[in-house]
Structure 1
Amino acid sequence: MTDHPDETVPDTEPAEVPEDGPEAPTGRKGAFIGLAVVAAVVALGVAALVFFVLDADGPSDVVDDYFQALKDADLEGARGYMCEAERGSPSPDDAEAQAALAGLVADFEWEVVDEKINDAETEATVTVEIGGLGEAAQDTVRLVAESGDWKVCGNTP
């Protein structure tokens, strides 16, 4: 390798940035923008957690929805809150049953008074005061967790 002192690299001029082009964030401004982006991402993560995890219906909510479907004489809606073992399929008599149910449950009322979930969060019981169908009564509704949702699955003995 030989040095050639007479060979020089021509001077190059730095590229010019157009005056109306965006400026790169520098110093405190860049740090503030970065912090704002991180805060926005964290806020979206917290919102997603609340919406998808903490907003899930608990056993009492499912019992309320199930009883409301019964009060509305919505057999298909009520069936959606039942566990797979008890759900069954719609029968040809459902329209007649729905019409009969509508007449019986017009005054149906309920109030959730207690909820218990087992440690494994796979089974729960909800105690409900039931009225409007004659003499007031208290009933315990059993629920099971199926595919991450609580489902009504019969009454406890």
Structure 2
Amino acid sequence: MRKILILFGICGALNAGSFDELKISVVKNFYQNQGGFKEICDKYCTNSFKISLLQDEEFAGDGELGCLDFDPRQAGQDDLCNDMKSEFEISEFGDVKASLKCKGYKDTNIVYKTSCNESECKVDDIYNIDEGTAFSVKEMIYDCLKTHQKEKK
């Protein structure tokens, strides 16, 4: 029995490692592809994350900003800079940490939570790290929407 558990542990560790490349690859798409965050997310995000963005758009109305009033790829409202230096690594929790350096801006760390199957990974949430405190973009949208729904009542 013990040998079987050890075998499952080794297989699980090997399998987790094979997802690391897929995870990093999907996150790199957020920085290598031209286009806005929502357009890129349409292709590389889970349905759960896309639903939170759609609900935010519906709340905001045409052409207006909703709860998500910044670009989560860089935790700011500016466009992505042209000379960005980025490094990607798997965190101790199995998420992808993007370390971004851009001349004239403060260095930024963004954490991507991914969901993977046998052939692909998609981004399920993004954690912006602001002065050592991380916050979930998806939770921030839902918290904001709840607050505004209460105000309407």
TM-score range, shorter chain: 0.3 to 0.5
TM-score (norm 1): 0.41
Bigger radius of gyration: 1
Structure having the larger proportion of residues in helix: 2
**Taking CA–CA contacts closer than 8 Å with sequence separation of 6 or more, which of the two structures ends up with the larger relative contact order?**
2
